[in-house]
Each structure stands twice: as structure tokens, then as C-alpha cells.
Amino acid sequence: MGNRVYGCDDCQRVCPWNRFAQKASLPDFAARHGLDSQSLVGLFQWTEGEFNDRHQGSAIRRIGHARWLRNLAIGLGNALRQPLGEDDRRAIIQVLRARQGQCSAMVNRHIDWAIAQNAQSR
């Protein structure tokens, strides 16, 4: 999974029909709400309302906010296993701890796992 949050990009990359695709110029196909330039830390801070508003009309909204957070927690935990600057590492731990114990049991388990990756990477 690495730092991926949603899998459609992988499907688009490997689909044999897409080798004929050309970049669309229609605004409907452009990245929305700066998703292509957002950090995982920034995305993890979105409230459920922000998630719903920003993904209105998008397939991403189907996974729901809890699974969005779970996937982001996994991505953040995987990032902690990589060489990082101390500021980046600190920002990731801070954003994870801010939600720790505040989410569903599923998300909380993944947050705990992600935080544990910091200790294992050192």
C-alpha cells in the first residue's frame, strides 16, 4: 500500500485500454481540491464534513471518512518506516496522536500501529 490512500490510480495505470488514453482537457477530470499536491498529514486532518464536501461527486466518497482515515494512517505509518527529516517525523506523530482514541476501533488500531512504526524505524 505504501503511501496510497485510494486504489483507482493503480487500476488506471495497469489498464491495457489506457495506453490509448490522452489527457483530458475538461475540468471534470482535473484533480479536485488540490488532492494531487496535498500531504498525508494535511489529508489526515480533514473532518468528516470536509471529506464529504471535498469528495462530493467523487468515487472516493464511497469509502467513507473512517476508511479514508484508516488508509491515511497506514500511509503515515509506512512513511515513518522510511528515512525522514525530524520535522516531518514529528508532524506525522503529532497528527496521529491528535486523533488517537477519537475514532472508530478500526481506525484507532491503525493509528496505534502507525505510531508504533516510528519506534521500529529507529
Sorted by where each begins, the domain ranges of the chain are 8-121
Distances (CA, A) of 91 to 9, 28, 96: 26, 33, 9
SS3 per residue for 62-105: HHHHHHHHHHHHHHHHHHHCCCCCHHHHHHHHHHHHHHCCCCCH
pLDDT in the model for residue 13 = 76
pLDDT band at 5 (very low <50, low <70, confident <90, very high): confident
pLDDT in the model for residue 8 = 66
Rounded Cα distance, 108 and 114, in Å: 10
Cβ(61)–Cβ(50) below 8 Å: no
Cβ(33)–Cβ(68) below 8 Å: no
pLDDT band at 98 (very low <50, low <70, confident <90, very high): very high
* Average pLDDT, integer, range 36-63: 91
pLDDT band at 18 (very low <50, low <70, confident <90, very high): confident
Rounded Cα distance, 53 and 5, in Å: 18
- Which tens digit of pLDDT belongs to each residue from 64-87? 999 999 999 999 999 999 999 999
Rounded Cα distance, 69 and 107, in Å: 7
Cβ(95)–Cβ(41) below 8 Å: yes
pLDDT band at 9 (very low <50, low <70, confident <90, very high): low
